[in-house]
Amino acid sequence: MKINIRVASLDDVEGIVQVYCSGIDRWARHTNAGAVEVDYDDLSVAERFGHGGPWMSVETCAIHLNNLLTNGQYPLIAELNGRIVGEAEIYVCSEKDFLEKYCYIDVLEVHKVFRRRGVGKSLINKAIELAHEKGCEAVAVWPAKEAVDFYRKSGFDTALVNIIHLEIDLKNTEPYGSNLEVKPPPLQLRHSPKHDSYIFKDILLTLHLPKEQVEVCL
C-alpha cells in the first residue's frame, strides 16, 4: 500500500472536505426546540461550519486552504490510489518563549474508513521531513486528549507545556457581589491521577530534531 504525501492545492478541496466529513455521524440543525437531524445537503454553509470548522464545506475549506497557501504554510494531503484519505496542516513558526524555530502540526485528520493503516504516521513523517528542510529544531503538536498516545508512539516524547483546566460550578457559588476568590490547585495535583475526574492536562508535545541531522535548504 503506497501512500503518497504532497502539498495540497485548491483542486483538492472536495477531497479534503470528504475526509473531515467522514467523522461526522449525524448532521443536525439546531432550533429553539433542540437539535433536529437533517441531511448534509439541507444545511447552510454556516450550519455545516458549526459541525467542525472550515473543513465541513467546499466554500469555507477553499478560503481556508487559500489562506494557508498564500501565507507560505503547508497543508499536506495523503493519497491512496489517487484518493485523498488524510490531511495535515503544518505551520513553520518562531517563538522566543519556547522554541526558536519549529514546525507545528495544527490539525491532522484521516478519513474514517482509512484509519489505522499508517496514513497519520505518513503525514507526521512528512512533517518531520519538512522540519529538516526548513532548519527547524523541533516538531510540535497540541493534541486532543484521545490523540496523545498516537503522538507519543510517533516519537513526540517531550511535554513542553502543561496547562491545567478548572471547572467552576457557578450554581453553587455565592450570589453576584459577594467575595469570590479562586485559587490555583496545589502543584502536586498536576501529576496526581486520582484527580483526573476534575483536572486534566493539555500537553504541547515536541519531537526534537538532532541538530547534526538538520539540513537547511536555501
CATH number at residue 177: 3.40.630.30
For 126, the enclosing helix (H) or strand (E) is helix 119-133
How does residue 174 score in pLDDT terms, banded at 50, 70 and 90?
low
Residue 29 inside a domain? The answer is no
**What is the model's pLDDT at position 194?**
33
Query: Which residues partner with 89 through β-bridges?
Result: 75, 107
Q: How many residues does the chain have?
A: 218
State the residue for C-alpha cell 485559587.
183
Residue 98, in any domain of the structure: yes
Structural domain span for residue 175: 3-22+37-213
- Residue 28 falls inside a structural domain: no
CB 93 within 8 A of CB 103: yes
Distance CA 15, CA 129 (A): 24
Q: What is the pLDDT of residue 145?
A: 83
Threshold 0.85, pTM exceeds: no
| pLDDT tens digits, 183-197 | 544 433 332 333 333
When pLDDT is cut at 50, 70 and 90, the band that residue 84 belongs to is: very high
In a domain, 119, yes or no: yes
Residue 92 has pLDDT above 90, yes or no: yes
Query: Coil, helix or strand for 68?
Result: helix
Task: Please indicate whether residue 202 or residue 147 has the higher confidence score (pLDDT).
Answer: 147
Query: CA 32 to CA 21: how far, in whole Å?
Result: 25
Domains of the chain: total: 1
- Characterize the bridge pairing of strands 138-141 and 102-110: parallel
Residue 77 within a domain = yes
Report the amino acid identity of residue 2: K
DSSP letter at 165 equals E
pLDDT number for residue 202: 52
8 Å CB contact between 86 and 77 = yes
Stretch 31-57: mean pLDDT, rounded?
94
Which of 166 and 66 is assigned the larger pLDDT? 66
Find where cell 501529576 sits: 191
Overall average pLDDT of the 95-108 stretch? 84
Percent of the chain at pLDDT > 90 equals 55
Confidence band, pLDDT 50/70/90 cuts, at residue 31 = confident
Report the distance separating Cα 36 and Cα 23, nearest Å: 19
